[in-house]
Amino acid sequence: MSIHTSQACYLIMPSIVTLIITHRPDGGFNAMTACWIMPVSRHPPLIAIAIAPRRFTYECLKSNPEFTVCILGPEHEEIADYCGSISGREENKIENLKKRGVKLINLNKVSTPGIEGSLAIIGCRLWRDYEGGDHRIIVGQVLECIVREDKFRDVWRDVELLYYYGGARYLTVKIPP
């Protein structure tokens, strides 16, 4: 069976679910769910995220080059779904999450916070911004990493990771101890 080439992205899913937190140009913070993310270098440590330029997150990155990447577990599926379905231009998602009891955690080397309870938080500074078709490839230099010690020691251990595989569908992958 042949499918349209624009659907190729779904052939390489599922992808780990993350929350990208940026500074809002008007103050405060914005959050966007992202699963098109990958490591690209160890030296220097770099990660890449595909973000459509029409997204509010891209606008936020253009005004302030720092961001955090929060690795989410299955207990964060509702947060991921909410932050992936509403634009930060329409709602202040971080403030709405805080009203629901979600807490922010500050990092030491970037001014953008992470979500408390995330499996890991990666603090980054924009390194490069490349054209990538209908998306921009945002490459961030990793400046700081915070992990849950009970879940990560050199590799993920005894943890459930949240993955996205299209539409509003998520799955959990259990990594053994």
Domain extent, residue 27, equals 5-175
Alpha carbon distance 102, 94 (integer Å): 8
Q: Number of folded domains in the chain?
A: 1
Query: Residue 6, SS3?
Result: helix
Query: Residue 74, SS3?
Result: helix
Q: What is the pLDDT of residue 30?
A: 98
7 CB burial (10 A radius; 0-12, 13-18, 19+): exposed
Q: CATH number, domain at 171?
A: 2.30.110.10
CA end-to-end span of the chain? 40
The one-digit pLDDT tens for each residue of the chain (177 residues) are: 988 888 887 777 789 999 999 999 999 999 999 999 999 999 999 999 999 999 999 999 999 999 999 999 999 999 999 999 999 999 999 999 999 999 999 999 999 999 999 999 999 999 999 999 999 999 999 999 999 989 998 899 999 999 998 878 899 999 998
